[in-house]
Each structure stands twice: as C-alpha cells, then as structure tokens.
Structure 1
Amino acid sequence: MSHYQVILFDLDGTLSDPKTGITKSVQYALEKLNIVEPFLDKLECFIGPPLHVSFAEFYNMDEENIQKAIEWYRERFKEKGMYENELYEDIPELLKLLKERQYTLAVATSKPTVFAEKILQYFHIDQYFDLIVGSNLDGTRSAKAEIIQYIIDKYKQYELADFIMIGDRKHDIIGANNCGVDSVGVTYGYGSFEELNGTKPAYIVNSVAELKNLLLAAPSYSKNVIDFVGVKPVE
C-alpha cells in the first residue's frame, strides 16, 4: 500500500462515532419545528451526508425550513453535540504509525471545518493531520467531491494515483470516484457493506485493525488478492 502518499479520512463514522451528538442535535432541531422523533436510531441516516441533503430527503423540508433546522441543529451541536462523540478504538495508534511512515494525512468531511477542527482538538489527534477540510458554514463546499478536489488541488505535486479516500458512507466513495482517486469503504461506521459495495470502492474493510493492515501492508499487496487479513478488494 506504500504507493499511496496522501490519505484522506472522513470524520463521522470513520475516525469517531458521533451518533449521540448528531442524533440528539437533529432531534432537537426537529422538535423546534414541531416534529417529534423519539427514536434516535431512526436519525442515524443523518450521520455522513450534508445536513441540508438529509433534512430534505428524510423530512421533505423546503429550503426555508432546512435553514431553520440547520440553525437549531448547530445551536445544540456547538454547545453539547460535538463532544457527545467517541474515537473508534485504535484510531490514534493508526494515525501515529502513518505519520511515522511520513504519509500526508488529511480530513475530508461534510461537517463544517470549524466543527471538525474543534473535534480533532478535543480528541488530541489534530497534530496528525496536515490539512482539515470540511464544508463552509454557509452551506457551500458541502459535497464530498468538492471537498476531496479541494484537497487534491492543495497537493499539486502528487498524481491522482497517490491519493486514497477512506470513509463509511456511499458519499465518500462516490466523491472519490468522481475525483478519480481510489477509496476504502469501512463497514464499522454507518454504511452497510451493500451500500459501500454498490459504489465500487477499491477496498472494503470491517474494522480499524483491517484498515491498519491494509494501509501499512507490504508494497507487493495487490487489489487482485482475494483474501488479505480480512480486507476485501472490490472487483
């Protein structure tokens, strides 16, 4: 795997499990709009995609109500939600090993950059990342392809083949595909194997341990290998 030089990580569902903070903040926003949703599990669909997409898709909101919902969501998220979050086990160790091997690491998230920075600082893993890129607070640059392309443009010294995107939802894989870079789908987050496999990532892994084995594998590792420490290459 050593031919990759720049490794992009999604945040929610890939580096950390943000379920409590995101779903409770969505629940709060919905309540402000007189929509009662008592079951947080039903709001897991908001983990990953941009908020404006999810409020429109899952609650059929018009643009005015979408903006109100996002404002209410951020009100709670800034105060509590971003800290109702847990790093996946072994993520700090993985990031440390990658930096020791001199990979360039970046975060590519649809979450606003300012929130992503605070979360990484809260977990004390911000020092491992050379670049943290998310959406803007006004809703621009929220599509994953835009975010990935922004990072690619920052590293013009590299070829597209030097980049790889790691994420848990189809939006991460589709964004990578649209930008012409390889990707890894992780099923330990909030996207199922079926969701990820349907968007054709280069690899699918089921745990941080498998991700570590993939990224730190010997350079002879090939996508054509069918079974490599649990890693599933996608053909």
Structure 2
Amino acid sequence: MSRVRTAPLACLDLDGTLVDSRGPFAAAMRGALREQGLPDREPAALHRFLGPPLEETAAAIVADAVAAGLVPAADAPAAAEALLGGYRRRYVAEGIPATVAVPGVPAALDRLRDAGWRFALVTSKIRPAAVGVLEATGLGAWIDVVHAPSPDERHVPKARSLRAALAEHGDDAALAAVMVGDRHHDVDAARACAIPAVGVTWAGGSDHELTAAGARAVVATPMALPETLAVALAR
C-alpha cells in the first residue's frame, strides 16, 4: 500500500515576512530608549535589529552605551533587561495595534492553501506578541500552528522552533517543507534542519544577505511566493 504524502508545510517568519514591523518596532524601541535614559537611534539604524531574539538586541544596544561610558559595565545585564521590558510594554500597547499585513500576503497565502499547503509560524518573537500580531492583522486565519519562545525563555535559536514545527507536522515533514523569511537567521535555521529556504525582500530583507546565507531563491513580491515555493520543494 502506498503511503499518503504529508501536505507541504510553509514555515513562515513573522516580522519582515508576513508583516512589515519596521515602523512599530522602531517606535517602541525609541520609546524604551528614552525611558531608560539611553541615546536615541534613528529608525533606519534600528531596523537591522529585526530578526534576532530581542534580548540580543537589547544587549547590543546597552553594550554600545557601556562603550560610550553611559552605563557601568557591571550594570549592563540589568540595563538590558530593563530596556527589553520597556520595549515589550510599548510594543504590546502601541506596536501591535499599528501592525498590518504586507499587501499581497493574504492573497498569496490563499493561493498556497488552495494548492494544499499548510502554514506554521516560526518566529523569534515571544509567543504572546506573535499571537497578538496574528489577531490584530487577521493573519491568524491562515496559520495552523505557532512555534515561538515563551516570555521567560532567552536566546532561543530559531532552528529549535523550526524543528518543533517539522516534528509536529509529521515524520516526513522535512521532505515537504520550506522555510520562508527575510533574514539570514531564517536561512540558517532551514539549513540546520535540512530543508530549503526562500528569502523575501518586500519588507526590508536583503537579497545579498539571503543569497549569501544559502537561500534557494529570493522573491521581491508576495505573489511570486506560491510558484517559488513549489519549485523550491521540487528541487
């Protein structure tokens, strides 16, 4: 008897992939910087921090303040934790309501679902914030499962969340799954899990970064995604 093949799984990043988070992220972070008495940063300078876990972002920003003599080195861990907490409070109150789906993404997800794909959200954003964004944007209607760190976890590699998504999807999910994201962290996770990655550049992603990391393909518009995912899965 032939085995029924598992439906293909699109493992989707959130920030920069399903939603353009640059504005809400920068606004919440700048507010947190003011709250902590740290130097302001222009939005463009903050956008590069979208992708890694936020605790790494907070630590990097505070490290700059330590180097500038604004924060004692011994106080850096507490300062980073305070910055992270201030950001998260502002993001929940102001950032999530201001977040919208990237134009064209819902239509692309409809086409993929019609073609038999299922969707797992795989994000470094903590789970409550990720679920909040899905609810605020209406994107939760497409997402079958969410894999994200809990609020008390720190430095969770995206590969861990991706492996969990693949394991939940089925034994042969690695043979029928693609990771989609806008940063090299998404590609790195895909490579660690031995599945192809497709990069996207419509909300700040860099073609050079994604290609250098090993993305199988890079697309600039959501409507190019269905065909690109089918090709990536077939190769």
Q: Could you tell me the TM-score, scaled by structure 2's length? A: 0.85
Answer yes or no: is 1:56 the counterpart of 2:59: yes
How does 1:188-227 map onto structure 2 within 5 Å? 188-215=202-229
The alpha carbon displacement at 1:23 in A equals 0.7
Map of 2:95 onto structure 1: 81
Distance 1:153 1:68 in 2: 35
The alpha carbon displacement at 1:30 in A equals 1.4
Answer yes or no: is 1:40 the counterpart of 2:49: no
Mark the CA change 1:31 to 1:139 in structure 2 (over 3 Å): closer, same or farther.
farther
| Contact 2:55–2:84 (8 Å) recurs in 1 | yes
Answer yes or no: is 1:124 the counterpart of 2:159: no
Encode CA deviations 1:170-192: one digit per residue, 9 max, x unaligned. 11100111111111011223231
Distance 1:39 1:125 in 2: 29
The alpha carbon displacement at 1:58 in A equals 4.1
| Contact 1:45–1:54 (8 Å) recurs in 2 | no
Encode CA deviations 1:14-36: one digit per residue, 9 max, x unaligned. 01101111111111121122112
The alpha carbon displacement at 1:146 in A equals 1.1
Question: What do you get for the CA RMSD once the two structures are aligned?
Answer: 2.2
Answer yes or no: is 1:7 the counterpart of 2:10: yes
Paired residue type of 1:165: M
Q: Report SS of the residue matched to 1:137.
A: coil
Distance 1:96 1:165 in 2: 18
| Contact 1:144–1:171 (8 Å) recurs in 2 | yes
From 180, 186, 189, the equivalent of 2:200 is 186
User: Where does the alignment leave 5 or more consecutive residues of structure 1 unmatched?
Assistant: 224-235
Deviates further, 168-177 or 86-95: 86-95
How does 1:10-159 map onto structure 2 within 5 Å? 10-60=13-63, 62-140=76-154, 142-159=156-173
Q: How many aligned residue pairs are there?
A: 220
The alpha carbon displacement at 1:3 in A equals 9.4
Distance 2:62 2:44 in 1: 15
The alpha carbon displacement at 1:74 in A equals 0.9
Q: Report SS of the residue matched to 1:110.
A: coil
| Contact 1:50–1:110 (8 Å) recurs in 2 | yes
| Contact 1:4–1:161 (8 Å) recurs in 2 | no
Q: Report SS of the residue matched to 2:179.
A: strand
Encode CA deviations 1:35-62: one digit per residue, 9 max, x unaligned. 1215222111222211111222344173
Paired residue type of 1:96: D
Map of 1:229 onto structure 2: none
| Contact 2:163–2:193 (8 Å) recurs in 1 | yes
Distance 2:191 2:230 in 1: 23
Distance 1:46 1:130 in 2: 27
Q: Could you tell me the TM-score, scaled by structure 1's length? A: 0.85
User: Where does the alignment leave 5 or more consecutive residues of structure 2 unmatched?
Assistant: 67-75
Distance 1:9 1:80 in 2: 24
